[in-house]
Amino acid sequence: MKKSFFILLVLLLSFVGCGSNSIPRTNNSYTIETESPYTITNDISTATLSINEISSDKKTITVAFSYFGENHFTYGDHYKIEVLQNNKWYSLKESETFISDVGYIVENGQTSTASYNLNRFGTLSPGHYRIIIAVTNYTENENKTPHYLSAEFDIE
């Protein structure tokens, strides 16, 4: 009787987390924090974010911001990296905390580049990723509107 109960318990526990809605939590190189909270990105028609370069050691990504709006927009050093798995985006957990309150300005008609450290999220294994960066759009009347720009990239 005890043996049958033990076998049944082991079988039940082996199925925990096997549902199709379970969030994959770890990879050998990074940890998934949560399903992406960013349902809308690139919702500002006057700004773009593109990938310029991923370093050969895959530790740094350089992006370009372009702006063609009324006034200017700002971006900072804060960013998120997400991985695409099973047609869903998942935010990666940062392995080191970084806080910076620096704001960079991109004027109308300008392009600005910035480099970001991918190692903050662990070693990225081969896959499809995106970087998400918050920007603030300033209109002529100085209304500030927050937006999220994203650009996708692959690690091979």
Q: Percentage of the chain with pLDDT > 90? A: 53
Q: Could you tell me which residues are beta bridge partners of residue 85?
A: 88
Q: What domain range is 75 assigned to? A: 28-155
Instruction: Please check whether residue 21 lies inside any domain of the structure.
Output: no
What token pair was written down for 30?
């990074």
Q: What does pTM read for this prediction?
A: 0.79
Instruction: Please check whether residue 68 lies inside any domain of the structure.
Output: yes
Q: Which amino acid is at 63?
A: V
- Extract the runs of DSSP E, i.e. beta strands, from the chain: 32-35, 47-54, 60-67, 72-76, 80-85, 88-92, 103-107, 111-117, 127-138, 144-155
Instruction: Please check whether residue 149 lies inside any domain of the structure.
Output: yes
CATH number of the domain enclosing 57: 2.60.40
For 5-56, the pLDDT digits (tens) are 333 333 333 333 343 445 555 555 789 989 999 888 898 888 999 999 999 9
Per-residue confidence (pLDDT) for residue 137, from 0 to 100:
84
- What b/e string do you get for 108-142 counting C-beta neighbours within 10 Å, with b at 16 or more? eeeeeebeeebebbbebeeeebbbbbebebbeeee
Instruction: Please check whether residue 8 lies inside any domain of the structure.
Output: no
Q: Which amino acid is at 83?
A: V
Instruction: Please check whether residue 10 lies inside any domain of the structure.
Output: no
Instruction: Please check whether residue 129 lies inside any domain of the structure.
Output: yes
Q: Kindly report the average pLDDT of the chain as a whole number.
A: 81
Instruction: Please check whether residue 11 lies inside any domain of the structure.
Output: no
Instruction: Please check whether residue 17 lies inside any domain of the structure.
Output: no
CA–CA dist 80, 150 (Å, integer): 9
Tally the domains of the chain.
Answer: 1
How many Cα atoms are found within 13 Å in the side-chain-facing hemisphere of 23? 12
